[in-house]
A and B are shown apart, each in its own frame.
Chain A
Amino acid sequence: RKEVEQDPGPFNVPEGATVAFNCTYSNSASQSFFWYRQDCRKEPKLLMSVYSSGNEDGRFTAQLNRASQYISLLIRDSKLSDSATYLCVVNGWAAGNKLTFGGGTRVLVKP
């Protein structure tokens, strides 16, 4: 079993619609959680950190469920520019900053 698992998609989303997807992680000792965005053939960039209480950044909402060991990302009012691969990232390494990535969920927003 992979440490971090994601639905690879693609999620085909009409412009203006809402899309949500999850990722699950296997290490219950994981300490911090992130969503990164990666555009085609580019480096990953931090979209948002995920806090236990849930957090929102504009049209993006992230949730963490430690009991069930999953993280979710919801995108409201999708824009064409939201088309990308969204990487779920878990940091479970007490001694450093080793990030464990999921395989990514591809989102395609269409007019």
Chain B
Amino acid sequence: ETGVTQSPTHLIKTRGQQVTLRCSSQSGHNTVSWYQQALGQGPQFIFQYYREEENGRGNFPPRFSGLQFPNYSSELNVNALELDDSALYLCASSPPTGKNTEAFFGQGTRLTVV
């Protein structure tokens, strides 16, 4: 167990709806990153939060947004859901020991858009 927990584990939404996914980082970790993993592909970086500020973003449209709270937990929000948003969404937390440290992944939220 990594200590990173995500909720919900599974979710089904209709195209056009909005969704919020949640992540509790491992104790002591102040950096949270979100990844999208489509079936048969590797995870793709969405964005990262460090001390409640967005600290970098991948090639995802603005309808993907996030938050980080003072306790370092985080949310990923996706508006105007599209069928292609169906994927496993992974949250990873990292300790505050600088760059190039191991990322610890949660079990993921499997989102299906119909």
Contact = CB atoms under 8 A, between A and B. Distances in A.
Interface of A: 4, 6, 31-32, 34, 41-46, 49, 87, 91, 93-104
24 contacts: A32-B99, A32-B100, A41-B88, A42-B108, A43-B2, A43-B90, A43-B107, A44-B43, A44-B105, A45-B2, A46-B102, A49-B102, A87-B42, A93-B99, A95-B56, A96-B31, A96-B55, A96-B99, A97-B48, A97-B101, A99-B45, A101-B42, A101-B43, A103-B40
Contacts, number: 71
Given A87-B42, A96-B31, A31 B99 contact: yes
Interface residues of B, number: 29
Given A43-B90, A96-B56, A103 B107 contact: no
B44 interface: yes
A97 B100 contact: yes
Interface string B13-36: 000000000000000000101010
B108 A97 contact: no
Instruction: Return the 5 tightest CB-CB contacts between A and B, nearest first.
Output: A101-B42, A32-B100, A43-B105, A103-B42, A97-B94
B100 A98 contact: no
Interface in B25-68: 31, 33, 35, 40-45, 48, 50, 55-56, 58
A44 B102 CA distance: 12
Interface of B: 2, 31, 33, 35, 40-45, 48, 50, 55-56, 58, 88, 90, 92, 94, 99-103, 105-108, 110
Most A CB contacts (10 A, CB to CB) among B42, B48, B55, B102 go to: B42
A3 to B, nearest CB: 10
A31 B98 CA distance: 13
Contacts of A100: 45
B105 A45 contact: yes
Question: By CB atoms of chain B within 10 A, which of A49, A94, A98, A100 has the most?
Answer: A98
